[in-house]
Amino acid sequence: MSVLSGLSQRRRHLGWLIGAAVTPFFAFNALAQTQAELQKLFTGSTITIIGSNAGSGADIMIRASAEILGDFLPGKPARIVVQNVPGGGGIPQVRRFMQAKPDGLTITVLHSRHTVDALFGTHDIKEWDPRKTGIIGTPTGGGQSRLLCVNPQTYNWTSWKDLIDSKKQLNVGASEPSGGAAAMAVRFIEMNKGPMKIITGYSGNNEIFAAYLRGEVPILQHCPERSLKKEYADLLKTPEEAHKKFVPILWWDVESDPEWLKTLGYSGKVPHVNEVLDMMGAGEEQKKAFRAALEIRSIFSRTWTLPAGTPEPVVKAWQDAFMKMTASPQYKALMVKIGFEDEHAPRSAQEMRDAFKLFDSLSPESIAVIKQLGND
């Protein structure tokens, strides 16, 4: 038997019975003791979830989850507190999380960049290693519909071939140099000296939408259904009206619903990013790197995780609770209520750890491409 201390805010010493070879009787007792200790740990406790910016998409999902999370943990917590640590690209959030006790009562929900950058050795905190943390899962690790639109009142779109042959560069508004996850294809096209350029300086989606509608930037990266319906439903009253402002020209990650394309007044096939990369002469290694970057960044989206050193039984309890919660009717109803139902794609801790193996399989050339893709 080994004793692990610090498993509750009351600083109780909880014993976890561990054995490599025990009789079925003792194995049953070990399980019973573990369950009893977990009940003691969570019952009446305060759970702290360390988040980043208040009001962000991740923050909205965290707060919705906090409403029902306690129903799925062993033992009923007294309260669940969301602690926002804003700014600095999430770096202050990670630093605060690294200071948390590994007692099972503090978790964080991280942007994918904090895993991806650490894998590539480009994270601002050199000692940060997400592989050592107690990964719980992600509620949104299944990829998303990504659609690029052109404003026909700003640019007379004909085809990708015509645009490439013209040697013009069309601007795409963004709030950060890499463009974020929603602009990965644009960034990749720009990296390959293609006909698009990311223009930064916008504070967020609302400013980007406004710049697009007034003709300041001809290309909109936020053209999938979930984005436009939330922000500009008044421009989508009829397909004819929608087509005056939004013409789909490119998709990647998850293909758009044909019904959504009809809503935009579009018929036919929207080109996939690989078709455009082929026109530009991109190599197979570059396309492979792009696919890997999409998968890795998607699966680590909004990673729920515990501090390094959290006892394994506690990590397992969190993992089980998370998967049960995200599969529950209550959770799905909450996602509909806050408008995130189309992002509902839970992934388990094991699936996320398998993504580490994908990274380990990449060639140095692919890693170099992905590093450049995410370079801010």
In a domain, 215, yes or no: yes
Q: Does the residue 258 lie in any domain?
A: yes
Same-domain check for residues 151 and 210: yes
Closest by CA position to 77, among listed 100, 107, 109, 105: 105
Model confidence pLDDT, tens digit, residues 27-53: 434 555 588 899 999 999 999 999 999
Contact partners, residue 70, CB within 8 Å, separation at least 6: 47, 76, 77, 80
Are both 288 and 150 inside the same structural domain?
A: yes
42 and 123 assigned to the same domain: yes
User: Cα–Cα distance between 85 and 49 in angstroms, integer?
Assistant: 10
Q: For position 2, what pLDDT does the model report?
A: 37
Asked if residue 66 belongs to a domain, the reply is: yes
19-31: per-residue pLDDT in tens? 433 434 344 345 5
Question: pLDDT class for 9, splitting at 50, 70, 90?
Answer: very low
Top pLDDT among 4 and 156 is at 156
Q: What is the CATH number of the domain that holds 45?
A: 3.40.190.150
pLDDT of residue 149: 95
Instruction: Write out pLDDT tens, residues 139-156.
Output: 988 777 889 999 999 999
Q: 189 or 12: whose pLDDT is higher?
A: 189
Check whether 319 has a pLDDT greater than 90: yes
Residue 50 or residue 112, greater confidence? 50
- Quick one: 127 and 9 in the same domain? yes
> What does 92-108 look like in DSSP terms, one character per residue?
HHHHHHHTS-SSSSEEE
Whether 185 is in a domain gets the answer: yes
Q: What is the reported pLDDT for 291?
A: 83
Give the count of domains, the chain.
2
In this structure, is residue 178 part of a structural domain?
yes
Between residues 74 and 179, the one the model is more confident about? 74
What pTM did the predictor assign? 0.72
**Which of 369 and 57 is assigned the larger pLDDT?**
57
Residue 122: domain span: 2-141+300-345
Of 29-43, 97-111, 344-358, which range is least confident?
Answer: 29-43
pLDDT of residue 180: 62
Q: In the predicted model, is pLDDT for residue 4 greater than 80? A: no
Share of the chain above pLDDT 70, in %: 88
Question: Which pLDDT does position 26 carry in this prediction?
Answer: 40
CATH number of residue 249's parent domain: 3.40.190.10
Tell me, yes or no, whether 151 and 132 share the same domain: no
Residue 104 lies in a domain: yes
pLDDT at 32: 54
> 254 and 309: one domain?
no
- Same structural domain, 135 and 161: no
For residue 11, pLDDT over 90 is answered with no
Look at 230 and 73; give whichever has higher pLDDT.
73
Whether residue 82 is contained in a domain is answered as yes
**Domain end residue (candidates: 261, 295, 329):** 295
| Tens digits of residue pLDDT in 189-241 | 988 889 999 998 887 788 999 999 999 999 998 887 777 877 788 899 999 99
- Between CA 156 and CA 159, with CA 157 as vertex, the angle to 5 degrees is 150
Q: Are residues 107 and 195 in the same domain?
A: no
Both 149 and 134 in a single domain? no
**Last residue in a domain, options 278, 295, 312:** 295
pLDDT value for 25: 37
Does 354 map to a domain? no
Are 208 and 108 contained in the same domain? no
Question: Are 287 and 157 in the same domain?
Answer: yes
**70 in the same domain as 6:** yes
Q: Where are the beta strands (DSSP E) in the chain?
A: 2-5, 13-16, 46-51, 79-84, 106-110, 134-138, 145-150, 170-173, 196-199, 219-220, 247-253, 303-306, 347-348
